[in-house]
Structure 1
C-alpha cells in the first residue's frame, strides 16, 4: 500500500496529527475515527483494504491521543473531537473535491462518527460503526459512582483473539496504558445522552460490525443505540467469538469482505 503521509492541522486543542493513505485516482474518501486510548496508526491494515478498494484514507489522532496535542486521554467535550474530525474531512475534500465520503468509527470513534452524522447529516455517503460506544453503555455510570477511578488499563485480551495484536498493543508507546480520567468518563456519559437524543441519520446507509464476545462494549447495549441512530438503511454483521476490535480480529478477512461488499452496494459506481 502507499506510504502514509503526515499532516498537522490546527485542532480545537492544539496541533492535530493526521494520517493520509493516498490513492492516485480515488473513487471515494474514507475518514477513520479511532477508539479510546489508541491512535490512527493502528489502522494501517484497514487503510490498505480501503485504498485497495478505491479510497483515499484520512485518519486523525484525536486530541490527547497518539501524536496529537493535549493531555493524554483527556477529552472534556466530544463535540470538540467531532469538530476536529470535520476539519480532517475538509482537508480530504479540498484535495479531492466531489467524491463520496465514508465515515468509519471504531468504539469511541463510533460515538464520534455517530455524532458527526447527526451534526453534518448531508455530508457522509455511508457510515460504518465497529463496536460503537452508543446506546446503553454501563461503564461510565459504574466508574463515576466510585470515589476514585481504579488504575486498571484496557486488557489486550479484551481486544482480539490474535496474540500478535495483543502483544503489539501492549508494547505500543503511543497507546495509553493507564486509567481513565474522570472528565473523559463524564464526557462519555454526556455524549451518549446527546447522541441518544440527537435523532436518527435518515436514509444514510449504515453498516454495524460487532463481535458477540465484546466485553468492553457489549453487543446488547450497542444495539439499542445503533437501532435508534439508523433511519432504516441498516446492515448488521455480528461475528461469532470476536472481541472488541473486529478490524484486528482473527476473522478480519471476513470483516473486510463485509465492508467492501457494503461499499459496493451503497456508493455510486
Structure 2
C-alpha cells in the first residue's frame, strides 16, 4: 500500500494520461466513457455560446488560441476531446459507430445550453469536426446562430470513393478492422515549421497509424452528407486552403453550393495548408480577424 493519496482509490477514473477525472471538467457519455471537457469564459457576461469541434487525431486543447479570441468577443466557449482522443476515454482513434461522435456532441451541447438557455450558439468545426458540426447543427437548428468551418471534411476523394472501392472497404472492415492504412504526415498541416513541430511534440495528439475500422466509419458518415446539405439553413462561414492535402477543397465548394442558407460565405486561402488557424502568422491573424468580425456582425452590438 502506497503512502499519501496520489494513487487512485477504488472507483476513481483516470484519463489515459493518469489524471483524475474528478479534478477536471468532464461528462459521462451514453456508453459510460468519461469525456474530458474544456471551458473558456469571457470577462464580460456572454452574449452567445461557441462550441469547438476538433479534428481527427488531435484534441480540444489545440484550440486555445481560437477560444481566447472568441472570449474577447464575449462568447462562452466550450469543447471536449472526442471519445478515443486526447484525455477522453476510449480506444485511440477507434469508434464502433460514427454516430457516437455526434451523440456525445449533442449531449455536451444540451448541457451547456441548459446552463445558458437564452443564448444562441455558434459552432466551429475543423476537418472531421466539420463533418460532425453539420450533423449537430442540423439536429439543433433552432439554437444555431452560425457555423464556422475550417477545411471541413465534406467530400470523399473521388479516386477512393468509387462503388467498387467502397464495397471493398466494407468487406475489409469486417474481415480486418484493425488493418493499418498508413500515417498522416504532420507536414501537411501547416506551412509553419513551428506548428508542425508543435503537433509532433504534443503527446495528446494521435501519432499512430489510421486503422480500417475508424476510416470506414468516417467514409460512411461523409458519404451521407451530400443528402443533408440542402436542408442547411443556418448562416455559415467556410474557410479552406487551396493547398490542403487532407480534406478535399471541393467539399467546401459543394457545401457552399448545396446549402440552402441565404447567409453563407466561402473564403479560399491561396497556397495554404490544412490548419488555417495554425498557418503562418499572417494567415492565422487573418483567419482570427475574419471569424471574429463574422460573429460580431451576427450578434447584437456590445453594450458600452
Q: Same fold (TM over 0.5)?
A: yes
Deviation at 1:119, TM superposition (A): 2.0
**Equivalent of 1:169 in 166, 183, 199:** 199
1:130 aligns with 2:142: no
1:19/1:138 CA distance change after superposition, 3 Å? farther
Pair member with larger Rg: 2
- Pick from 11, 23, 32 the counterpart of residue 52 of structure 2: 32
Say whether residues 1:49 and 2:79 are aligned partners: no
1:230 Cα deviation after fit = 4.6
Aligned residue number for residue 264 of structure 1? 296
CA–CA distance in 1 between the matches of 2:139 and 2:42? 28
Q: Deviations over 1:237-265 (max 9, x none)?
A: 11111100011111110001110111122
1:268 is paired with a residue whose SS is coil
| Secondary structure of residue in 2 paired with 1:125 | strand
Q: 1:88 aligns with which of 99, 108, 112?
A: 108
Q: Which residue of 1 aligns with 2:41?
A: 22
* Aligned counterpart, 1:108: 128
Of 91-100 and 250-259, more deviation after overlay is shown by 91-100
The whole-number CA distance in structure 2 between the counterparts of 1:89 and 1:173 is 27
Question: Which region of structure 1 is more displaced relative to structure 2, 246-255 or 231-240?
Answer: 231-240
Are 1:10 and 2:28 matched, yes or no?
yes
Equivalent in the alignment of 2:248: 218
For 1:101 and 1:9, how far apart are their aligned partners in 2?
Answer: 20
Which residue number in structure 2 is paired with residue 203 of structure 1? 233
Whole-angstrom distance in 1 between the partners of 2:298 and 2:231: 15
- Residue in 2 that maps onto 1:254: 286
Question: Which runs of 5 or more residues in structure 2 are unaligned?
Answer: 1-22
Q: Report the count of equivalent residues.
A: 265
CA deviations on 1:34-62 (whole Å, 9 max, x unpaired) are 00010000000011110111111101100
Q: Distance in 2 between matches of 1:131 and 1:35?
A: 10
Q: CA deviation at 1:16?
A: 0.8
Asked if the contact 2:180/2:211 (under 8 Å) is kept, the reply is: no
Given the superposition, is the C-alpha separation of residues 140 and 48 from structure 1 closer, same or farther in structure 2, using an over 3 Å criterion?
farther
Rounded to whole Å, the distance in 2 between the matches of 1:200 and 1:219 is: 19
Which shows bigger deviation, 226-235 or 145-154? 145-154
Distance 1:225 1:116, change over 3 A: same
Residue 245 of structure 1, aligned match among 255, 259, 275: 275
1:70/1:120 Cα in 2 relative to 1: closer, same or farther (>3 Å)?
same
Distance 1:21 1:86, change over 3 A: same
Q: What is the RMSD of the two structures over their aligned residues, measured on CA atoms?
A: 2.1
Q: CA deviation at 1:154?
A: 1.4
Once residues 40 and 54 of structure 1 are traced to their aligned partners in structure 2, the CA distance between those partners, rounded to angstroms, is 20
Per-residue deviation at 1:123?
2.0
Secondary structure of the corresponding residue to residue 266 of structure 1? coil
Which segment drifts farther, 194-203 or 103-112?
Answer: 194-203
Query: What are the residue-to-residue correspondences of 1:150-165 with 2, within 5 Å?
Result: 150=180, 152-165=182-195
Q: Secondary structure at the match of 1:17?
A: strand
